[in-house]
Structures are given as structure tokens and as C-alpha cells.
Amino acid sequence: MSRKYFGTDGVRGKVGEPPLTVDFVLRLASAAARALAPGGGKVLIGKDTRLSGYMFEAALEAGFVAGGMDVMMIGPLPTPGVAFMTRHYGCRFGVVISASHNLYEDNGIKFFDAAGGKLSDEDELRIEAELERGTLTLESNALGRVIRVDKTRRAYQEFCMATVPADVSLQGMKIVIDCAHGAAYKVAPRILTDLGAEIVPIGCSPNGRNINVGCGAMAPELLQLTVTGVRADVGIALDGDGDRLVMVDHLGRKVDGDQLLYVIAMAKHAAGTLQGPVVGTLMTNLGLERALQAKGIGFRRAKVGDRYVLEMLREQGGVLGGETSGHLLTLDHATTGDAMVAALQVLAVMRQTGRPLAELVAGLELLPQQQVKVKVAARFDPESRPAIVAARTAIEARLADRGRIVLRASGTEPVIRVMVEADEREEAEAAARELAAVVEAEARA
């Protein structure tokens, strides 16, 4: 069965438009209570800093209490922090109100199971089935209660700090931290300060509408300028819900998820602590795969989406994986992608080796990538169109082992994504344009 409301990362959309309306979120809470916690129990609700988070928080609270669940409200906290605190409190499940890296006009509802992991497809289908029954209100003596637990977010900060080796201190490091005016604006600076770093905070003044605007992991240009301007050792950029990481070296150059995976993988391999293969996605740069293979490190590709990276890591017995975009999973430390935990692992490598980030990534040669988004009136599977398949096959034959092609329909918007990478940038750009033209023609047909 296909899911009607759940996408690759919960339910997401524009605020005020179906399904992101107050009445739907109220029904969603009621349905989730019945599907995930029959008989009641505790549920944790966290959020980022969007203005609409207040009303969706209230709608979730009402739906859960009406369904007999005790609600714990923790306020703004990174998505991975909610995952951790869900497990910490022994909740039946946890909820995050966030649209991640999107602007404030959007929002979303994401769920974690009792172990702090993302819900299975089967769990999401059960919730959707319960949605058809509407909202349930129990008798007064069976209703749940609500408590605020904002101050206990210190437990998450301590958890993050504990992932750094005991003999590693950030004393003497100057770090620019950009929280995208999002969920990590309180905890991330405190974590770095408590570990001894001198910090320069930016993107830490949310007003409900400025989340991800001109800052954070999706727009690291301000961070790049600030790092060089204040002569910092490194810069850290998170997205609005704190699960995506981009870093900047002391020269002001962006370091993406593939490069950060390389740094962590090399360090774990050298220390003998790397378990299983490293897992990337279809979009992971071929250069990373080649670099890992040269060191005898296994590499696997999952479908795009950190949930699929997580599934493959579990299947393969791995602990390290992620996406080019900066969703990094270190399962020897956390149950889900956690940008601050990943950043701390990179900082620890810098301290242990005495090498700057620019030097740590120098051994990785990334191939040029060209990406094209082809807008379509209605989403379709590009692999189902013979003309597109024929064009792709012909281009792949020309590229041989000098590159590769990824062709997929977006899971979040009506576009077909074309990505070509090759040893030479000109070849990648020409091939991407050629294939995109065929996709455009098929979309109009």
C-alpha cells in the first residue's frame, strides 16, 4: 500500500493548506495515539522555531490528551534531540513539529518510535488507516495530562558532549556556529562552550519567521564570510531542525556531507573502530566511493533519504552513513542523524590529529556533478518512459567508468531530478543538459 500523507520524512506541506491544517493535525494526533500507543502512555512533543509551531503544538497536545496519553512538552529542540529524549523518558513515541530546511511558510510533523528511531512504513500506514476514523475523545477519567519539560534539555546537551573522547578538549578553538535561527539555537552554542571552545554565534536569534533565511546549512555563505572575517578555526552550519550539517574550513571553503563522511570514516578506519560498510545514497559523489575503496573500506548506496541510509546500515551492520546534503548518521553514538554529534566527531578528529579541516579533506577528490530539476505537471517514473531509458543508456555507455547518472522523481515536489557526474565538468554539464531535454520532451508528451 502507498502512503497518502506520509512522505520520506513525516507529513509536510505549506501551513494552512491540506494536510498542514489544525484540524488535520488534531486528527493525526488522535490516530497516532490509537495506532502507536493503544492503552495510553507518554508522548514527547518538540518543535523548531516556526511561528506555526505554537498552533500545531496545541493541536497535537489536544489530540493526545483526548486519546488518553500523557504529554511532555519540551519546546524548541533539534530533531535528534527529541529522538534522544523520547528514549530517555521512556515514551511510547515522540513527535517533532518541523519542516527541517524549508522556510517558515512550511511545516511538518515527524514521529519517532520508543527507541528513538523513525517509524516503519507499516506504522505510518496504521496511522493513516486510523485517520479515517476521526478524532476520539475519552471519558474525563481516562484523559491524559500535560507537563512542560523544557529545562530537561540539558540531558541532551550532556549526551552530545559525551560522544567526544574524554581526553579531547576544544579549549583554544575558535568556532563559528550557525543555527539557522532554528531548533538548535540554544543547545548547540552551549555544547561547544561547555567543551571549552570560543564561539561566534550567528543564526541564533529566531523570530518565528527567519528560520533558514540566508543562513544555516542551506545558505552557508554568511558562515563562510564570518569564519574568515573573525579568523576562526572552523565553522559549523546546522539546518532549521538540527539534523543536517555543513562545515566550513578556516579558508572559508564549504565542506559537504560527503567530505565529512570521509573525515570520520578515515579516522574510524585508522582507529580500528569502523564497523561494516559506509552507506551513502544514489547522490553520493563517486569520488567518495573511490577514496573509500582505495583504503579497503566497503561502501554501499541506499535510496535518497536518511531513513533508507539507516535501514541499509542496520542491514549491513554498519555505523556510519549519510547524504551529501549533510544528513550524517553515526550509529555508534546516536539512533538517528544528528548534526551536532557529527560535528563533534569532526572536531575531535581535528584535535586528535592536530590537522585543520582543510587538510583532513584534502585526500578526497570529488567528481564534478551537474544537477537539473525538470518541472512536470504530474509526477511520473522516468524509468517507465522508453525514450528516457534509451537516452540514459546511450549517455552511460559514453561515460563508461568515468562517471554515472542518477535519474529520479522527487518525493517532495513535482520535478524529475537529473544528476550526472563525470571526471570532466564539461562532460557532466553536457550530458545533464542532453538527458534533461529528453525528460522535458516526455513530460510535455
Show which residues are catalytic.
100
Give the SS3 label for residue 198: strand
Distance CA 288, CA 269 (A): 15
Contact between 337 and 347 under an 8 Å Cβ cutoff? The reply is no
Contact between 206 and 185 under an 8 Å Cβ cutoff? The reply is yes
Distance CA 442, CA 385 (A): 8
Distance CA 295, CA 276 (A): 14
CA angle (313 as vertex; 370, 119 as ends), nearest 5:
95
CA angle (111 as vertex; 28, 236 as ends), nearest 5:
135
Residue 345 C-beta-side C-alpha neighbours within 13 Å: 23
Concatenate the DSSP letters of all residues of 272-296 into one string. Answer: T---S-EEEETTS-HHHHHHHHHTT
Parallel, antiparallel, or unpaired for β 174-178 and 198-202? Answer: parallel
Parallel, antiparallel, or unpaired for β 11-14 and 93-97? Answer: unpaired
Distance CA 27, CA 4 (A): 15
The C-alpha cell 510535455 sits at: 444
What is the 8-class DSSP label of residue 10? B
Give the SS3 label for residue 97: strand
Contact between 258 and 361 under an 8 Å Cβ cutoff? The reply is no
Residue 219 C-beta-side C-alpha neighbours within 13 Å: 16
Q: Which three cell numbers stand for residue 95?
A: 513527535
Distance CA 297, CA 409 (A): 30
Q: Which three cell numbers stand for residue 370?
A: 551537474
Parallel, antiparallel, or unpaired for β 198-202 and 93-97? Answer: unpaired
Measured CA distances, 340 to 71, 158, 441 (Å)? 26, 12, 43
| Beta-carbon count within 10 A of 24 CB | 18
Contact between 413 and 378 under an 8 Å Cβ cutoff? The reply is no
